[in-house]
């Protein structure tokens, strides 16, 4: 394997040129780790261009492998961090945990998600994470975390999805939740206007830290990897 020579500076110069020509109003990047986002921020600043955002996979169970460090660095630099996979592909809504699904408030909000088409590889990964296999994921899977989320949700009269989104917001990150119905849109909006307490966040993280990091399910169709400290691309020589 050979590592491809970085062309980051050329890319950043191009972004700065687009900004100064008025082709774009803001400049954002995707999947930059803390080291690379700082380098990009510095390079653009020399050209008088602010780095507006950095989009990464981030959720209650997706904070490892450099993700939390990236959020901290973005907050330090004044770069808005955007989170995709805020629900961990549905795991944090309880849709893959039948016992939790039956207890959750407003189950009808997420009904369309249960029929969402996923590949067999994705479903296999999601079920393994939800139920646990005793090897890569502890027995019981995500259920202990969902039970804590459910306690908080019932106390605050919120849904599991709203708790998952509010956790991200409480970390200074902007979640990018999907929605396929107006009910889901309204549910997503219910994550705004309130904040989890530091005690509630600690409860959630205590259970979440017992699980492996979630950064997606199924076959990853990419030759680039988010390694926490930047992007590495590999090719066969």
**pLDDT, averaged across the chain:** 85
For residue 110, pLDDT over 70 is answered with no
pLDDT category at 59 given cuts 50, 70, 90 is: very high
Q: How confident is the model at residue 102, as a pLDDT?
A: 54
Distance CA(173)–CA(57), nearest Å, equals: 11
- Please say whether the dihedral angle defined by the alpha carbons of residues 194, 31, 221 and 232, taken in this order, is positive or negative: negative
What whole-number distance in Å separates Cα of residue 20 and Cα of residue 8?
A: 18
- Give the full edge-to-edge strand order of the sheet including 51-57: 27-30, 51-57, 80-84, 173-175
Residue 36 is predicted with a pLDDT of 94
The model's confidence at residue 63, banded by pLDDT at 50, 70 and 90, is: very high
pLDDT tens, position by position, 211-224 = 999 887 876 544 44
Contact 141, 130 (CB under 8 A): yes
Mean pLDDT lowest among 116-125, 167-176, 225-234: 225-234
């Amino acid at each position: 394997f050979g590592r491809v020579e970085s062309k980051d500076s050329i890319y950043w110069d191009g972004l700065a040129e687009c900004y100064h020509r008025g082709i774009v109003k803001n400049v954002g990047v995707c999947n930059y780790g803390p080291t690379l986002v700082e380098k990009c921020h510095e390079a653009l600043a020399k050209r008088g261009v602010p780095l507006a955002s950095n989009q990464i996979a981030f959720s209650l169970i997706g904070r490892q492998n450099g993700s939390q460090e990236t959020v901290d660095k973005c907050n330090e630099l004044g770069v808005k961090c955007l989170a995709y996979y805020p629900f961990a592909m549905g795991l944090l809504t309880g849709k893959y945990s039948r016992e939790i699904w039956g207890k959750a408030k407003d189950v009808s909000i997420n009904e369309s998600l249960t029929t969402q088409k996923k590949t067999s590889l994705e479903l296999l990964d999601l079920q393994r994470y939800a139920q646990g296999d005793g090897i890569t994921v502890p027995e019981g899977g995500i259920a202990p975390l969902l039970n804590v989320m459910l306690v908080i949700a019932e106390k605050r009269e919120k849904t599991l999805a709203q708790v998952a989104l509010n956790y991200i917001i409480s970390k200074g990150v902007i979640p990018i939740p999907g929605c396929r119905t107006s009910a889901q849109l309204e549910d997503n909006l219910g994550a705004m206007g309130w904040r989890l307490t530091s005690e509630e966040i600690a409860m959630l993280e205590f259970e979440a830290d017992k699980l492996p990091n979630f950064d997606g399910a199924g076959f990853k169709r990419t030759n680039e990897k988010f390694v926490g400290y930047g992007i590495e691309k590999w090719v066969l020589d």
